[in-house]
Structure formats: structure tokens, C-alpha cells
Amino acid sequence: MSTSPLPVTDPTSAPPSAMSRTQRLTLVALLYCTQNLSLGMFTYAFLTIAQANGVSLATIGAATGLATLLVLKFLWAPLVDRYGSSRLGHYRGWLLATQSLLAVGAASLALLDPAEDFSIALVIYAALFIVAGTQDVAADAATTRLLTPSDRGIGNGFQSAGSCVAQIVGGGLVLLVYGAAGWAAAALVLAVWSALPLPFVLAWNEKTTTATQPRPRVTRKTITQFFTRPEVARWALFLLPVYTAGGTISYNLVRPMLVDAGWSESEIGTVVVIAGSAFGIVSGIAAGMFIRRLGRRLSLVALGLTQVAACLGTVALALGSDGRAAVILVVALSNIGFAASGAIVYTISMDLVRHESAGTDFTLFTTVSGIAMAVAGGLGIAAAGSAGFVPVTVFAVLLAAVGVVVVGRGITPVLAAVPSEVP
């Protein structure tokens, strides 16, 4: 791999018409729908199956920390921007390599027994998480460069929906296949799913579709200057955490409340993981189309209000509305709010990305967002443990409402700094 010089070009130019809008959106959707499959399988299927087959709970608990490898992708994101194949295409080369490795890695799991070969499987999963993190960086960079500003909403709607697809396929579908045909068949299903984007990546002529944009390049100065941009610091370090805090607390309390209400693991898996993720998929895509129609500012407020509605639902759940119909409604609202707000957050973050360092910039945004959400979710659960679910869910409603107001009033300088913004 080699570095490329940076020409003087218009970074907001739309991709040439050599690749149709439908083709671009299809490629983006497939990349995002396969992005976290290994994590979904590891969290919802592999660890569950291993525990059911004799692996101790203490070992399972320790193994869950392996997934933090995905959070560390910001450490090697600059390498993805700096080095690329001139023959295959900069990000196309990374995507061809990572998608292939994800498919091969998933297929290799078919040769193992989840319990007897637990340690070996963990090594393979560690490698898969590093590869998946790299694919994530390359996919985000490719999406930034492939999509016009007006299409970033729907593109990031696919990203928000993609995490829900990973839960359904990596968790639900894999467990169903495992129950019917065994572990090897389940792993091979994941391998086939991981390979789905490859024909579309092969058909993508990156040099043509991004010819008007700066060539990828990142330096130490590029990285250190990221948070010195006022609009970036304002969005990433203040507005984004304030906007997502209430919804994140509410979203993370649903499962503990159902456990406390006596729901079984299988019931929670069916309603929360599978049904909830299905609502998230629809909501993410719908939010993307909503953003394209109304623009960033109005979408921030409108989609933020879905978080407020979701938080109100969790208050009802905390007060004892634990009938199946009521729970399904709360789960639907929770996942709709979470996915919808994710779509607009990703879109504005992508607007602030520099095209020559797209992978690094977007990864830094998602890292800051991930840390803020992890802190909010963790504090919410801890507070519920000491103060109870009702006061914490009420607080989440207030926090979500305040977040909408604060961001609605404070987003103007951020959007004004984005020349490609579509009102």
C-alpha cells in the first residue's frame, strides 16, 4: 500500500454519474448491514451457546470484554486513510480485504465447538473484531465520499438500521439455525451473509465516483486539528452528548426492568432483541428519508421528540405496565427513538468530516458518541439500582426534552460551518 498526494479540488462535489444513486445507496446499505454481524453473533449466540454447553458464567463474563476491541478502532483508523491500493482503489481495496476476511473468519468458526474450543474461538473472534473495526472505518469513509449531502440522511439511516440487522441476523437468525441444524450451519450462514457486499464492492469503480474529491491522506497534524475546529468541538463534546443522554438512559433500562418484572431470557430475546431490532430497522430507514425531506435542523428536533416519547414509554413500564402488549409498545418506541436519533446524529457528524481524512474523522465522532452513551447508560442503570426505576426514567424524560431544546437552539453555528448542508 502507498500514500497519495492531495490535489486541490472541491471537497463538496457530488460523485460523477458513472454510478447511479440507487447503486450507491445499495452498496452503502449492504456494507452497513454486515458491519457488526460478528459482534451480534458473539454477544447473542456464541456466548449463550457456550454457557448452555458448560462454560462457566465467570468465564463468559470475562470473555465479553473482548468486544472492546471494536471501540479501539480509532487507533488504527488513520492507517486506513493514509495507506491504500492505487490499483484496487483506496477504500475499495480495504473493503474487499475486510469483507473477505470476515466471511472466511466466520466460516472458520464452523470447524470449532463453542464449548470445547472456547479459547480458540475467542482468538478468532478477536481477529474478527479487529477486521470488523477496519471495515467500519473504510465503510464510513467510502459512504462519506460516495454520497451527496442530500443522500447522507438515508445513508446514515442505513447505518442506524444496520446495527439492528446485526442483532437479528447475528443473534436471532444464528440461534434459530443452531437450534435446527447445529453450530457449523449457523457459522456458515453468518459467513454467507458477511460476503453479500463483495459483488457490489467489486463492481464499484472508486476512481471514477470520487474523482472530484481530495485523495485520502492523514497526518499527525490532521488528527490533532480535529477538535480545534469550533463546530466539531461544539457538536462532539457538547451538543451530541446532551442530545443522546436521555434516550440512552431510557433505552438501556428496558431489559433490566423486564428482568425485574420476571420475564424469561427467551421472552426478552424474542421481544427486545428480534422484535425491537425490527422496529429499529424500519425506524432508521424512515428517519433517513425524513432527514432528506426536512433537512438537518427540523429533523434534529422532530427525531429528538421520538426519544422523548420513548422515554415516556419507559416511565409507564417502570410504573408497572408489564403486560405483553404494553411491553411491545414500549420496546417499539424505545428502538424507534434510538434508531431515529442515531440517523440524524450520524448524518451531522458526516457533514463535519473532512474528505481527505474521512475514516479518521468519522471514527473519532463515533468514538466520542460511544463513550458518552456508555457513560450515560451505565450511570442510568447504576442509579436505578439505588434509587429505583421510576425516578430514573422520569429524569430521562426531562433530560431528553432538555436535550431537544438545547440542540435545537445551539445547532446553528455547527450547520453554518458546513458548506454542503442541505436545509
5 pLDDT more than 50 = no
In a domain, 11, yes or no: no
Report the CATH number that the domain containing residue 83 is assigned in CATH: 1.20.1250.20
What pLDDT is attached to residue 198? Answer: 95
pLDDT, position 351: 92
Report the pLDDT averaged over residues 136-158.
Answer: 90
Model confidence pLDDT, tens digit, residues 174-196 = 888 888 899 999 999 999 999 99
- Could you tell me what percent of the chain has a pLDDT over 70? 94
**Contact predicate 233/349, CB 8 Å:** no
98-119 pLDDT, tens digit per residue, is 999 999 999 999 999 999 999 9
Give yes or no: residues 226 and 202 share one domain: no
Above 80 in pLDDT, residue 6?
A: no
Domain total of the chain = 2
Which helix (H) or strand (E) segment holds residue 326: the answer is helix 324-351
Q: How does residue 419 score in pLDDT terms, banded at 50, 70 and 90? A: low
**Over the stretch 32-82, which tens digit does the pLDDT of each residue have?**
888 888 888 888 788 888 888 888 878 887 888 888 888 899 999 999 999
State pTM to two decimals. 0.84
Q: What are 38's three cell numbers?
A: 460478528
Buried b (16+ CB within 10 A) or exposed e, 232-242: bebbbeebbbb
Q: Do 338 and 196 contact (CB within 8 A), yes or no?
A: no
pLDDT confidence of residue 4: 38
Q: How confident is the model at residue 121 (pLDDT cuts 50, 70, 90)?
A: very high
Residue 75 counted as domain residue: yes
Q: What element of type H or E holds 111?
A: none
Whether 88 has a pLDDT exceeding 60, the answer reads yes
- Note whether 119 and 168 are same-domain residues: yes
The number of angstroms, rounded, from the C-alpha of 48 to the middle of its chain's C-alpha atoms is: 22
422 in a domain, yes or no?
Answer: no
Q: Do residues 178 and 271 both lie within one domain?
A: no
Q: Is residue 5 part of a domain?
A: no
Q: Which domain holds residue 183?
A: 21-206
pLDDT per residue as tens digits for the range 58-71: 888 788 888 888 88
- Tell me 215's DSSP state: P
| H or E, element range at 245 | helix 240-260
Res 422 pLDDT > 90: no
Cell numbers standing for residue 250: 431510557
Q: Residue 266: its pLDDT value, please?
A: 72
- Does 354 score more than 60 pLDDT? yes
Task: Say if residue 257's pLDDT is above 80.
Answer: yes
> What is the grid cell recorded at 279?
422496529
Cα dihedral sign, 86-89-93-96: negative
DSSP 14: P
| CA gap 388, 318 in Å, rounded | 9
The pLDDT of residue 406:
96
Q: In this structure, is residue 227 part of a structural domain?
A: yes
Identify the band that residue 268 occupies on the pLDDT scale cut at 50, 70 and 90: confident
- pLDDT at position 13 is 43
Terminal-residue alpha carbon distance, the chain: 39
The pLDDT of residue 235 is: 95
One domain, residues 62 and 149: yes
Same domain, yes or no, for 407 and 376?
A: yes
